[in-house]
Amino acid sequence: MIWEKNFRDMSFPQFKYLLYTNSRNLNFEYVMYPVACISVEEIPNPPSDKNVWQAFRTIINRNVRSRKYTTREGITNLLRAECGISEYRAREICDILVASMSLYNDEKIRGNTPSIFANKRGEYFSFNAAVNIYFNWVQDTYSRMLEAKSEN
């Protein structure tokens, strides 16, 4: 409706882009605030985050060797203890990484490669050695991002 009344001189995709990016090139009489905004920023403290990543890998690899089920709370508590971070930060890191692993498992694992973890009733997880494929994928992707950044 707004595009049809006031911005017919530009294409709808262009209008939508300018609107979503909150561009100043769009002379808009209404005050609008984005509902969701995504920004990708450099990790503020790489050594600390690298240590958290390594601790997470260690926790998961211990679970692989024990062949026992664990919970998000269990992983969170271990991450908190090993890294000295707050419970909230440990829980958020755990939730994000487990969700990432789940997506990777659903999207990337095909054919003869076993699932990287078993999920029992959405609460308990048992990881297997194939989880290292995920860890290597994350590290390779992160390395390529750093290389691309250094080239710019």
Q: Convert the pLDDT of each residue in 104-128 to its tens digit.
A: 888 777 666 667 777 777 678 888 8
Spatial strand order in the sheet of 124-127: 70-71, 124-127, 117-120
Domain positions in the chain are 1-39, 46-151
pLDDT of residue 125: 85
Task: For residue range 46-94, list pLDDT tens digits in order.
Answer: 436 678 889 999 999 999 999 888 888 999 999 999 988 889 989 999 9
pTM: 0.62
Distances 10 to 25, 26, 27, 30, 147 between C-alpha atoms, Å: 12, 10, 12, 18, 38
46-151 belongs to which CATH class? mainly alpha
For residue 133, how many other CB atoms are within 10 A of its CB? 16
